[in-house]
Amino acid sequence: MGEAKKKDGVEIVGFACSFCTFKASEMAGSLRMKYPEGVKLVQVPCSSRVDPAFVIKAIFEGADGVFVAGCHPGDCHFIKGNYYTRRKIAALKEMFDAFSMKEKLRLFWVSAAEARRFVEKVTDMHNELKERKNEREKA
């Protein structure tokens, strides 16, 4: 983070599976679709590579939100990786819920062909976090 963060910016770290969601983001780029600039993607070989420790680290080192995105259940390149992701991230969400910060974590299923869906999901998350941040700053 060389330059100072924009004051109203919302930073989102996304863990994207290289076989589907990351491909979808590349496709969104080549189709000249726009998604918020605060979204930083981290390419992972499979969504199950994401240890929930990564998510917790991202949040406590300054990210406003984190999403984990992978292939639709059943479509995993490694056959069953995203079934494990689903269990792990669902449990992590429950834990975030217990700490009253449920909104900070999301789980998406986006296939390589769904560039539009990727943009929609990411923009939606960005807008909600931004709204919450503005409300907090007002109060």
Partner 1 sequence: MKGRKLKKGDIESALNEFLKGDQHLVLGFEKGENGVSPKIFKGSLDHYSLLNPVFGANAALYLRRLFSKGCQVMLMLRPCEIRAYVELQKLTQIEREDIIAVSIDCPGTISSKDKKGDVPTEADQLTDYFKSSDSMRWACSVCGERRGVVGDAGVRIDRNGNFWVIPYTEKGETLLARMEGESEEVPAEMLIGESKKADKFQVDMETFDKDFEKCTMCMNCRDMCPVCYCIDCVFHGDEYIPKGDALINKILRSGSTKMPQGKELFHLIRMYHVSQTCVGCGACEEACPQGIPLTKYFKGISERLQGMFAYMSGRSFDEAIPYLTFLEDELKDAED
String marking each residue 1-20 x if it binds partner 1 according to CB under 8 A: x-------------------
What is the DSSP-derived secondary structure letter of residue 114? -
Q: Which residues contact 4 (CB under 8 A, 6 or more apart)?
A: none
Say if residues 34 and 61 touch (Cβ distance below 8 Å): no
Stretch that binds partner 1, among 8-16, 102-110, 112-120, 130-138 (CB under 8 A): 102-110
Q: Does 29 bind partner 1 (CB under 8 A)?
A: no
Using CA atoms of 57, 126, 24, 59 in order, give the dihedral in degrees to the nearest 10. Answer: 0
Of the residues 7, 32, 98, 138, which one makes contact with partner 1 according to CB under 8 A: 98
Task: Examine residue 30 and tell whether it contacts partner 1 (CB under 8 A).
Answer: no
Q: By CB under 8 A, is residue 131 in contact with partner 1?
A: no
Number of Cβ within 10 Å of residue 51's Cβ equals 12
Q: Does 118 bind partner 1 (CB under 8 A)?
A: no
